[in-house]
């Protein structure tokens, strides 16, 4: 599926490709890579509440700020919550970034190989082959409880709104 009119990059409309998720939908499985090149699937987070932060590229100021914000918040969450960041960055770049920036509480994953996550969550930007800045809360049964696709990709998401949604799931 392709959708337009949802988000822009630097004022230019982009097309989102993939599933159209709505609150209450079950999430499709996906496979991404860890910074050590190991595959990671949705099933690997079974029984956890998932707060998923999606960034176009960690090497930009807004993505950097978003990941740092969630790294701090991850430390405050109970053990049954996993905070995940997914981008199209190469696993090697993610590993370097996290080591340099002391990102150690967020599960940072790469969707570069197959765009599996981007298609499953409907946030793959067709024109750029990057993921659209977005936030998701997915409950223990893999049901979507919150969706935020940022209208302008160069702007930060509404962090507090996502945390409120997370609290409702706990």
pLDDT at res. 35: 95
Using a pLDDT cut of 90, give the percent of the chain over it: 100
Rounded to an integer, what distance in angstroms lies between the CA atom of residue 159 and that of residue 65?
11
pLDDT digits (tens, 9 = 90+) for 85-116: 999 999 999 999 999 999 999 999 999 999 99
pLDDT at res. 38: 97
Enumerate residues 6+ apart whose C-beta is below 8 A from 119.
Answer: 17, 18, 19, 30
Q: Give the active site residue among 63, 84, 98, 166.
A: 63
Tell which residue, 125, 148, 128, 126, has the closest CA to residue 136. Answer: 148
Length of the chain: 170
pLDDT at res. 65: 97
First to last CA, the chain: 32
> Mean of the per-residue pLDDT values for the chain?
97
Enumerate residues 6+ apart whose C-beta is below 8 A from 8.
Answer: 14, 151, 152, 153
75 forms beta bridges with: none
pLDDT at res. 24: 98
pLDDT at res. 143: 98
pLDDT digits (tens, 9 = 90+) for 56-92: 999 999 999 999 999 999 999 999 999 999 999 999 9
- Which token pair is 66? 């978003």
Rounded to an integer, what distance in angstroms lies between the CA atom of residue 170 and that of residue 165?
9
pLDDT band with cut points at 50, 70 and 90 for residue 138: very high
Q: Is 98 a catalytic residue?
A: no
């Amino acid at each position: 599926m392709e959708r337009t009119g949802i988000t822009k990059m630097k004022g230019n409309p982009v097309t989102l490709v993939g599933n159209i998720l709505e609150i209450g939908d079950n999430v499709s499985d996906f496979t991404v890579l860890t910074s050590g090149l190991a595959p990671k699937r949705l099933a690997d987070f079974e029984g956890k509440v998932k707060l998923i932060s999606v960034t176009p590229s960690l090497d930009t100021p807004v993505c950097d700020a978003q990941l740092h914000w969630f790294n701090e918040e991850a430390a405050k969450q109970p053990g049954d919550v996993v905070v995940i960041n997914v981008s199209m960055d190469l696993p090697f770049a993610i590993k370097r970034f996290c080591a340099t920036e002391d990102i150690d509480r967020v599960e940072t994953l790469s969707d570069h190989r197959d765009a599996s996550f981007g298609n499953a969550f409907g946030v793959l930007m067709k024109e750029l082959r990057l993921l659209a800045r977005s936030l998701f809360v997915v409950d223990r049964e893999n049901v979507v409880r919150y969706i935020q696709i940022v209208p302008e990709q160069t702007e930060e998401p509404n962090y507090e709104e996502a945390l409120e949604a997370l609290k409702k799931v706990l």
